[in-house]
Every structure is written in structure tokens, then in C-alpha cells.
Amino acid sequence: MAEIRVENLRKTFGDFVAVENSAFVVEDGEFLALLGPSGCGKTTTLRMIAGLELPTEGRILLDGEDVTFNRARDRDIAFVFQLFALYPHFNVRKNIGFPLLAQRVAKAEIKQRVEETARLLQIDHILNKSVSGLAGGDRQRVALGRAIVRRPKCFLMDEPLGTLDAEFRDVMVRELRELHNRIHATTVYVTHDQLEAMAMADKIAVMNQGLIEQFGTPSEVYNRPATMFVANFLGSPPMNFIPFEGGLEKGSGTVMVNGSAIDVPQLHEDLAPTSLSLGIRPEHIRFDDAAPLRGSVYGAEYLGTTQIVAVELGDDIIKARVASDRLVRIGETVGLTFEGPKLSLFEQGSGRAIRTALHEGASHG
């Protein structure tokens, strides 16, 4: 396997900028998820790494070699598409072995490698079955097998689980990560599903309108989002944003929310902007009858082990994740406390996170 290095990548289609100044490194054996909404540039980035699109500017290095303008066939990569693109007139064995046949590999070696790959994917019992009659999960395994059997330097996957139903998708998420651990493959995986990215990836690049807004581990992008977009895109429900009264000076650690003082991380900025928002995840809000910060219950969603309670807080509605056995009534007044170390601060205009003591050492793209 090999390192993938992307340097200042840019792609335009006429006047439209699809990818702008992307730069990141996928270490040898690492699993990177390109995460973002439709149209954010993630698939275009993947296609440039694959050689299916040529960049307008920038460089792509694979295992130290500049492959920016090499054809896809000269890059030693394997691409797994959202649509399985299997040959319906071939059985499973022939579908998996076809790339080796095209490379004129000896028949005995093809047989050996196909059977090794099938055992790895736990589909060796269906090698002689037609792919047209297989369930979606098995068809996806065959598509993965066709990529794995080549033993390429890296794997590129474009929403390969997008057509599966929820049950199969959950199974394949687990199996893809287990497969990655077994073969230690350098992988770039495109998805719009935050749960897929969080469950499988070693690193996540969150993209928005052609830009990488943050690059880091799942823990970093979830707990210390670099922008309001990242904070809003990750999480279900997403982070709450609460504009607060007045500004915040460097070194200060208290803000006023709905007439109550809230402790926040101290600023490390030389000049604090005046338009700030407090960011707090629903699971970091607690109900506390003695708390001075008060709100009115607006609604509740029961989720089994927990419930999501919407609370009116002045002109804002925020959501808290609390235990399912906490009885709440619409219109009830509740006290709220925030876990101070878990708070984030954002500049409202730019949406960027304000650097605080808790952001020291965080990885922001």
C-alpha cells in the first residue's frame, strides 16, 4: 500500500469552482473519509485522485510518484463505485477474477487469488453462482472482491453503500472496517453519511462548497469543530448555537445567556469579535432544577434509551439529549446546565471557531 499526497488541488468547470485549494495526506494504510453534502466536491476530488478527472491546478502523489496527469490505468488504484457495475453474464468467480484476466495473469494464480479474496470476504460459498440473483450485500462484496484481487496500492470508494437498505448498510460498515484492518489498505472513501464516516475512518475531511473545512480524526471534528458548518453537519441532532449578549474579551471566561452567566473556555485571540455564538452538543446539556438558566419545554422525541427534548431559551430553541426515564411536559420550566469544557465558541460572520485553551493542539483544516 502507499501514501496519497494531495497538494493545492483545484478543479473548475468553466466558471464553476468544484474543488478549491485542497491539501491533505493519507498515510500508508490509513482510512480517510471525504464527508460532505451533495455537490461539495468530494466525488470530484476522488475522481482526480483516480485519474478520471484532471485537475486545473495542484499535484497528486501516490507512493511518492507524481501521478497528477497519469491515466487511471497507470496509477495502480482500485475504484469501487456506488453502482456495483458487475458483469451479469458472469458468475461470482469470473467477476472477481476479470481484472486479473485482463492483465494476462496465469490461470492458476487467478484461481488462487480469487479464492483467497472470496474467503476474506466470506463469499467463497457462492463463487459459482450468478451475480444477477444475489442480494445487495453479496453483490457489494463481489464488487469489493474485484477491487481487492488486484492488490493495488490504494482503494478509492465512491459511496459504495448508498444503494443498500439500512440493515445491509450497517452490516457492510462493520465489515468494511474489519476488512481494512485485515489488509491494512490505504483507502479514500466518499460519503455524505456522517455515521459511515465516524464508524470507519481514521481521518475525516469535511468538505463544503469545494473547500475542506476541517481535516482530523473523528473525535477532533466532532468534539472540536473548526467551523459552524462542521458543527452543524456532524451530530444527530447537530450542535446547538446560541448567540450571547455582548462581546467577550481575551482571557474572559463568562458570557450572559438569557440573563444567566455561563462559564466558557477562555479566549486566546488577541482581538475578540463582538458577534459570537456559543456551541453546545445536545448530550452536553443537563437538566438541573437548581440551575439559574431556565427554559420552557417545547417538545420531546422518544428514542428508547434516550430522548431529545427541545427547550425554548429566549428567542432560541435548543435540543438536549437526556435519559428516557426523565418525565417532561410541554410547557414545563426546566433548569439547564452546560458542560463547560465541552463548549465551543464561533464567530457568527465567518462561522469559524474561536481559538480557546481547549483548541490548543486540535487539528483544523
Q: What is the pTM of this model?
A: 0.86
C-alpha–C-alpha distance, residues 115 and 127, integer Å: 8
Q: What is the pLDDT of residue 271?
A: 47
In this structure, are residues 155 and 77 in contact, taking their beta carbons and an 8 Å threshold?
yes
In this structure, are residues 231 and 72 in contact, taking their beta carbons and an 8 Å threshold?
no
C-alpha cell recorded at residue 111: 484461481
Name residue, grid cell 428508547: 304
Assign 3-state DSSP to the chain and report helix, strand, coil percentages, each to 5.
Answer: 30, 35, 40
In this structure, are residues 43 and 79 in contact, taking their beta carbons and an 8 Å threshold?
no
C-alpha cell recorded at residue 318: 435548543
Pairing outcome for strands 186-191 and 154-158: parallel
C-alpha cell recorded at residue 213: 473545512
Q: What is the mean pLDDT of each run of 10 residues along the chain (365 residues)?
A: 92 96 96 96 96 96 94 87 80 91 89 89 89 83 85 88 76 83 89 94 97 96 95 95 72 75 68 74 94 94 95 94 94 92 87 68 43
Q: What is the pLDDT of residue 362?
A: 44
Name residue, grid cell 456551541: 279
In this structure, are residues 61 and 42 in contact, taking their beta carbons and an 8 Å threshold?
no
Q: What is the three-class DSSP state of 29?
A: coil
C-alpha–C-alpha distance, residues 214 and 212, integer Å: 6
C-alpha cell recorded at residue 23: 491539501
- Strands (DSSP E) contained in the chain are 4-13, 16-26, 31-35, 57-62, 65-66, 77-80, 154-158, 186-191, 203-208, 211-216, 240-243, 254-257, 260-263, 276-280, 285-287, 294-302, 306-313, 316-323, 333-338, 344-347
Name residue, grid cell 475542506: 212
Which among 19, 14, 11 is positioned nearest to 208, based on CA atoms?
Answer: 19
Helices 92-102 and 136-148 meet at what angle, rounded to 10? 20
The distance in angstroms from the start CA to the end CA of the chain is: 25
Name residue, grid cell 444527530: 236
In this structure, are residues 190 and 157 in contact, taking their beta carbons and an 8 Å threshold?
yes
